[in-house]
């Protein structure tokens, strides 16, 4: 029997580790990572602000001695398990280079790279690491990256050679590059970047500079079936790479003069980011330029409807086919008159994303990952202004589609008649030969019961070629939906935008095949330090459940438990307390509840407006405008429809009452609602993110899981076990035993009724089928139980 141990932790972070282990589930590697970083978290958490004071005041009350937990045999503490031989984490015999102290990297045999972020050379290698590896964790002092097939694929597609990757990693590693990793990189390089899928003069080509490889691929039974019958392999000189101007950069005109140099390199040099990373890039790309000029391209034509199949097959054969669009030589599709307005300046990280996309003068298809509120829309718009051909934008819902159209008009000189929306409410097309169409995933993929005007719009979308298809919030799109999008819209290039390339169902890898590799991923903490996104204080507030609630919670079915957790009267009071506290400070607050029943009860009781899947578009717009503009409305309740794409820069505080299990993505998306806070430039300004958790319930396990991604981005979660002076707060709801009893009866009745489950399912159906959209399948989600009056506030 494993020994049972009791612990007496005195700090919030230690208690959190204990809490993680107290639940009898095995500790996942993600959780281990979290606990390993708790020290780092604490460091980041220290700082001024009300939240820290609250936490400090309550720290001494923090004691969980009553809760024994078990550890594996022979392990005396949680940290030791992390260094067990089975984990291959015992580095006692690791051979180090003589000058290891001058080098910032550790590389292990599993492809994990650890960067000492406090090292004087750290900044020099960071950009290189982002290009070749996937950042997995970037808190303050130690960053972790992972070399993967996909990251190497992205690196090669960005123009790096495996030889250079191996040399550079070897050069900066304290322990040298393990031979198996060098071999892995070299093996990947033998096949990656060799094959390209190019759309030229409205035809798709499978293209390579290796003639023998093309012959080999053509012998594959699947690929040979995708080939256009009768088309012969062609042999042409590869185009010379020329400098490319991305609009919105300070020296766009100057860049045009660049001779034969990769755009990204030119920008990096001119934007004054001197240092070794830039030297590395310059060195690597100059080599590439020489090679490209002398290459011969062999190509074979592919059937239009077989492009995805060829891409998937090439990937299966370990020859991922990069999709590139030579838009500057596209004389077939009409040019779109669109440029960024002269006053528009894109930011340095936006420029970096774009240089990854347009690095070799063609448009590479792929995914750009930027935190919420960091300006993905402008990145998409600038890509559109660079390509200057017909553009389709796929948004997650009608409101987001309207926001996209407004942003195009705000940032560019596009004629309003050249941009149109195709949604359930609007179905017009643009004037002239080409333009921008903003639509939603559901409009494109919902083939059932299409009205005549919608069907003719779809025909229009499918009948022509588009220069660029922008896929907003791309992580939420199921592969099947995405295949349908690709099947109906013929785009030369695809740009996926997201803040969180995360899915709990591990389907993220699908996106690599369907869109392209991750081209860029920004560092959240860096953007927050630079003031592009807000600084956020995060806290988990533990809300004990009254005994009679807890008894019912323990005996109810697992399905009903989230309802009890959300309706915990102590949680309600904590929410009320925090709203009052922050309203008094002049904050604007969003309260999230996935549970629609709880959402309505909370909002009505507190006399606040609320929005959920069943609220009509016009009412949503009205409520959002009221929240944005009226000093009389400081708090808004939202169901999960508000998780993404809502531009509410006024919001400075977020309170989470109920959430979707252990979803890391939802947690990050929700945090994103306050990252764009308008007031972020004020001195010492902090936004706040509170997650209210019913103590000793399943919510605590989920909460720990939900935080993993944000902790990896460097966020610190404080645990607040008791809100200061809450018992003396006047007007708290459910303050008497009778009121509490009445509430419990209501919750019991609700748990027995199936109506709320149907509501939840309906809301989820809209989200899952269409990817976090505001509508259910086929249009508006009708609400049958007749919640009316989302305007529970007085005076309206």
Q: Name the region of 323 (left: φ>0; alpha: ψ -120 to 50; beta: rest).
A: beta
Tokens of 305: 């409807």
The residue within the footprint of ligand ATP, chosen from 244, 374, 438, 732 (CB under 6 A), is: 374
Q: What is the distance between the alpha carbons of residues 260 and 239, in angstroms, rounded to a whole number?
A: 11
Is 370 a binding residue for ligand ATP by CB under 6 A? The answer is yes
Q: Which is nearer to ligand ATP, 497 or 747 (CB)?
A: 497
The residue within the footprint of ligand ATP, chosen from 21, 31, 35, 377 (CB under 6 A), is: 377
Is 372 a binding residue for ligand ATP by CB under 6 A? The answer is yes
Angle between helices 12-22 and 698-712 (to 10 degrees): 120
Which residue from 632, 636, 640 is spatially nearest to 624, judged by alpha carbons? 636
Q: Which is nearer to ligand ATP, 345 or 630 (CB)?
A: 345
Please state whether beta strands 134-137 and 112-116 pair in parallel, antiparallel, or not at all (unpaired). Answer: unpaired
The residue within the footprint of ligand ATP, chosen from 196, 376, 494, 670 (CB under 6 A), is: 376
The residue within the footprint of ligand ATP, chosen from 34, 645, 658, 721 (CB under 6 A), is: 645
φ and ψ at residue 284, rounded to 5 degrees: -65, -45
Please state whether beta strands 589-593 and 610-611 pair in parallel, antiparallel, or not at all (unpaired). Answer: unpaired
Q: Which is nearer to ligand ATP, 111 or 380 (CB)?
A: 380
Is 42 a binding residue for ligand ATP by CB under 6 A? The answer is no
Q: Residues 589-628 vs ligand ATP: string with x where CB under 6 A?
A: ----------------------------------------
Residue nearest to ligand ATP (CB): 375
In the region spanning residues 666 to 685, those forming contacts with ligand ATP, defined by CB under 6 A, are 672, 676
Please state whether beta strands 717-720 and 687-694 pair in parallel, antiparallel, or not at all (unpaired). Answer: unpaired
Cα 130 to the center of its chain, rounded Å: 16
Q: How far is the CB of 162 from ligand ATP (least distance, A)?
A: 33
DSSP category for residue 546: P
Cα separation of the two ends of the chain = 64
- Do residues 371 and 499 touch, judged by C-beta distance below 8 A? yes
DSSP category for residue 175: S
Q: How far is the CB of 373 from ligand ATP (least distance, A)?
A: 5
Sign of the CA dihedral running 432, 436, 438, 443:
positive
| CB contact set of 649 (below 8 Å; sequence gap of 6+) | 373, 676, 677, 678
Q: Which is nearer to ligand ATP, 27 or 372 (CB)?
A: 372
- Do residues 606 and 579 touch, judged by C-beta distance below 8 A? yes
CA angle 508, 511, 515 (to 5 degrees): 160
Number of residues that bind ligand ATP (CB under 6 A): 18
Q: Which is nearer to ligand ATP, 27 or 538 (CB)?
A: 538
DSSP category for residue 776: B
Is 442 a binding residue for ligand ATP by CB under 6 A? The answer is no
Is 352 a binding residue for ligand ATP by CB under 6 A? The answer is no
Q: Which is nearer to ligand ATP, 676 or 793 (CB)?
A: 676
Element (H, E) at 422: strand 419-422
Cα 613 to the center of its chain, rounded Å: 22
Q: How far is the CB of 689 from ligand ATP (least distance, A)?
A: 14
In the region spanning residues 555 to 584, those forming contacts with ligand ATP, defined by CB under 6 A, are none
The residue within the footprint of ligand ATP, chosen from 103, 125, 378, 436 (CB under 6 A), is: 378
CA angle 627, 726, 701 (to 5 degrees): 80
Stretch that binds ligand ATP, among 80-88, 170-178, 299-307, 644-652 (CB under 6 A): 644-652
Provide Rg for the chain, Cα atoms: 27
Tokens of 43: 């460091």
Q: How far is the CB of 272 from ligand ATP (least distance, A)?
A: 18
Q: Which is nearer to ligand ATP, 375 or 714 (CB)?
A: 375
In the region spanning residues 709 to 728, those forming contacts with ligand ATP, defined by CB under 6 A, are none
Q: How far is the CB of 404 from ligand ATP (least distance, A)?
A: 9
Stretch that binds ligand ATP, among 341-349, 459-467, 585-593, 722-730 (CB under 6 A): 341-349
Q: How far is the CB of 374 from ligand ATP (least distance, A)?
A: 5
Q: Which is nearer to ligand ATP, 117 or 639 (CB)?
A: 639
Q: Which is nearer to ligand ATP, 360 or 669 (CB)?
A: 669
Q: What is the distance between the alpha carbons of residues 3 and 75, in angstroms, rounded to a whole number?
A: 9
Q: How far is the CB of 533 from ligand ATP (least distance, A)?
A: 9
Which residue from 233, 194, 237 is spatially nearest to 215, judged by alpha carbons? 233
Stretch that binds ligand ATP, among 130-138, 214-222, 541-549, 641-649 (CB under 6 A): 641-649
The residue within the footprint of ligand ATP, chosen from 375, 467, 569, 609 (CB under 6 A), is: 375
If you write DSSP's letter for every residue of 637-691 in order, what string do you get?
A: EE-GGGSSS---TT--EEEEEE--TT-HHHHHHHHHHHHT-GGGGSTT--EEEEE
- Do residues 771 and 596 touch, judged by C-beta distance below 8 A? no
Which residue from 706, 631, 616 is spatially nearest to 661, judged by alpha carbons? 706
Q: How far is the CB of 532 from ligand ATP (least distance, A)?
A: 8
Q: What is the distance between the alpha carbons of residues 220 and 372, in angstroms, rounded to a whole number?
A: 43
Q: How far is the CB of 474 from ligand ATP (least distance, A)?
A: 11
Q: How far is the CB of 184 from ligand ATP (least distance, A)?
A: 34
Q: How far is the CB of 411 from ligand ATP (least distance, A)?
A: 8
The residue within the footprint of ligand ATP, chosen from 160, 346, 501, 654 (CB under 6 A), is: 346
Is 499 a binding residue for ligand ATP by CB under 6 A? The answer is yes
Specify burial of residue 46 (Cβ count, 10 A radius: 0-12, 13-18, 19+).
exposed
DSSP category for residue 327: G
Q: How far is the CB of 790 from ligand ATP (least distance, A)?
A: 23
Is 347 a binding residue for ligand ATP by CB under 6 A? The answer is yes
Q: How far is the CB of 382 from ligand ATP (least distance, A)?
A: 9
Q: How far is the CB of 692 from ligand ATP (least distance, A)?
A: 22
In the numeric block, the tokens 């079915």 are attached to 557
The residue within the footprint of ligand ATP, chosen from 50, 127, 647, 696 (CB under 6 A), is: 647
CA-to-CA dists, residue 696 to 62, 211, 373, 593, 714, angstroms: 14, 64, 34, 20, 26
Q: Which is nearer to ligand ATP, 380 or 517 (CB)?
A: 380
Stretch that binds ligand ATP, among 214-222, 239-247, 290-298, 367-375 (CB under 6 A): 367-375
Q: What is the distance between the alpha carbons of residues 360 and 493, in angstroms, rounded to a whole number?
A: 14
- Edge-to-edge strands, sheet with 203-208: 234-237, 296-302, 203-208, 195-200, 321-325, 363-364
Q: Which is nearer to ligand ATP, 434 or 652 (CB)?
A: 652
Q: Which is nearer to ligand ATP, 143 or 665 (CB)?
A: 665
Is 641 a binding residue for ligand ATP by CB under 6 A? The answer is no
DSSP reduced 3-state for 336: coil
Q: How far is the CB of 645 from ligand ATP (least distance, A)?
A: 5
DSSP category for residue 257: T
CA-to-CA dists, residue 383 to 227, 270, 344, 373, 375, angstroms: 31, 20, 14, 18, 13
Q: How far is the CB of 375 from ligand ATP (least distance, A)?
A: 3
Which residue from 656, 628, 487, 657 is spatially nearest to 565, judged by alpha carbons? 657
Stretch that binds ligand ATP, among 135-143, 368-376, 683-691, 694-702 (CB under 6 A): 368-376
Q: Which is nearer to ligand ATP, 680 or 762 (CB)?
A: 680
Q: How far is the CB of 330 from ligand ATP (least distance, A)?
A: 27
Is 534 a binding residue for ligand ATP by CB under 6 A? The answer is no
Q: How far is the CB of 665 from ligand ATP (least distance, A)?
A: 12
Residues engaged in binding ligand ATP (CB under 6 A):
345-347, 350, 370, 372-378, 499, 645, 647, 649, 672, 676
């Amino acid at each position: 029997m494993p020994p049972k141990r009791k612990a007496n932790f005195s700090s919030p972070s230690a208690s959190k580790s204990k809490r993680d282990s107290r639940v009898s589930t095995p500790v996942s590697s993600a959780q281990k990572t979290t606990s390993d970083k708790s020290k780092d978290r604490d460091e980041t958490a220290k700082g001024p602000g009300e939240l820290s004071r609250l936490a400090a005041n309550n720290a001494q009350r923090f004691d969980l001695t009553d809760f024994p937990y078990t550890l594996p045999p022979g392990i005396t503490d949680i940290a030791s398990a992390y260094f067990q031989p089975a984990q291959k984490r015992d580095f006692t015999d690791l051979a180090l280079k003589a000058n290891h102290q001058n080098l910032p990297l550790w590389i292990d045999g599993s492809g994990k790279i650890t960067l000492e972020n406090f090292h004087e050379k750290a900044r020099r290698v960071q950009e290189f690491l982002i290009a070749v590896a996937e950042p997995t964790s970037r808190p303050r002092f130690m960053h972790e990256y992972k070399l993967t097939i996909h990251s190497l694929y992205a690196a090669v597609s960005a123009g790096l050679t495996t030889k250079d990757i191996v040399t550079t990693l070897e050069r900066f590693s304290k322990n040298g590059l393990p031979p198996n990793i060098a071999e892995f990189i070299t093996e990947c390089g033998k096949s990656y970047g060799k094959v390209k899928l190019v759309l030229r003069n409205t035809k798709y080509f499978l293209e390579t500079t290796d003639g023998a490889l093309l012959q080999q691929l053509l012998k594959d039974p699947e690929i040979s079936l995708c080939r256009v019958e009768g088309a012969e392999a062609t042999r042409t000189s590869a185009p010379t790479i020329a400098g490319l101007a991305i609009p919105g950069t300070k020296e766009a005109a100057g860049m045009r003069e660049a001779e034969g140099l990769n755009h990204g390199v030119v920008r990096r040099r001119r934007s004054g980011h001197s240092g070794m990373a830039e030297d590395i890039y310059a060195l690597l790309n100059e080599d590439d330029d020489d090679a490209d000029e002398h290459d011969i391209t062999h190509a074979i034509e592919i059937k239009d409807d077989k492009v995805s199949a060829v891409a998937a097959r090439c990937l299966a054969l370990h020859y991922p086919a990069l999709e590139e669009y030579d838009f500057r030589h596209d004389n077939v599709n009409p040019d779109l008159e669109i440029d960024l307005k002269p006053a528009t300046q894109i930011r340095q990280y936006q420029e970096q994303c774009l240089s990854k996309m347009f690095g070799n003068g063609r448009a590479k298809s792929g995914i750009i990952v930027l935190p919420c509120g960091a300006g993905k829309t402008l990145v998409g718009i600038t890509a559109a202004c660079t390509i200057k051909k017909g553009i389709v934008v796929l948004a997650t819902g009608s409101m987001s589609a309207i926001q996209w159209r407004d942003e195009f008009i705000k940032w560019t000189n596009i004629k309003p008649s050249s941009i149109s929306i195709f949604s359930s409410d609007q179905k017009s097309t643009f004037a002239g030969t080409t333009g921008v169409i903003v639509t939603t995933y559901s409009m494109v993929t919902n083939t059932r019961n299409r009205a005549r005007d919608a069907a003719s719009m779809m025909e229009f979308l499918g009948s022509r070629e588009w220069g660029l298809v922008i896929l907003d919030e791309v992580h939420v799109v199921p592969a099947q939906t995405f295949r349908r999008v690709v099947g109906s819209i013929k785009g030369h290039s695809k740009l996926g935008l997201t803040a969180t390339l995360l899915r709990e169902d591990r389907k993220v890898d699908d996106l690599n095949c369907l869109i392209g590799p991750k081209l860029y991923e920004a560092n959240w903490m860096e953007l927050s330090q630079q003031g592009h996104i807000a600084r956020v204080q995060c806290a988990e507030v533990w809300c004990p459940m009254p005994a009679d609630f807890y008894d019912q919670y323990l005996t109810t079915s697992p399905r009903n438990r989230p309802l009890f957790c959300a309706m915990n009267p102590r949680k309600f009071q904590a929410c009320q307390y925090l709203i009052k506290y922050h309203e008094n400070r002049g904050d604007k607050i969003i309260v999230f509840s996935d549970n629609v029943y709880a959402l309505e009860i909370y909002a009505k009781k507190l006399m606040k407006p609320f929005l959920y899947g069943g609220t009509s578009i016009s009412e949503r717009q009205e409520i959002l405008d009221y929240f944005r503009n009226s000093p009389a409305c400081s708090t808004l309740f939202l169901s999960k429809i508000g998780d993404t794409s809502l531009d509410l820069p006024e919001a400075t505080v977020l309170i989470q009452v109920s959430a979707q299990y252990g979803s890391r993505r939802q947690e990050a998306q929700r945090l994103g609602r306050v990252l764009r806070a308008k007031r972020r430039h004020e001195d010492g300004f902090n936004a706040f993110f509170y997650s209210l958790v019913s103590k000793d319930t399943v919510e605590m396990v989920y909460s720990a899981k939900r935080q993993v991604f944000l902790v990896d981005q460097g966020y610190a979660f404080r645990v607040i076990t008791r809100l200061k002076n809450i018992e003396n707060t006047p007007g708290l709801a459910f303050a008497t035993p009778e009121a509490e009893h009445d509430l419990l009866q209501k919750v019991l009745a609700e748990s027995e009724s199936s109506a709320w489950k149907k509501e939840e399912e309906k809301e989820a159906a809209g989200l899952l089928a269409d990817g976090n959209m505001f509508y259910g399948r086929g249009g508006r989600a009708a609400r049958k139980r007749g919640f009316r009056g989302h305007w529970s506030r007085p005076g309206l």
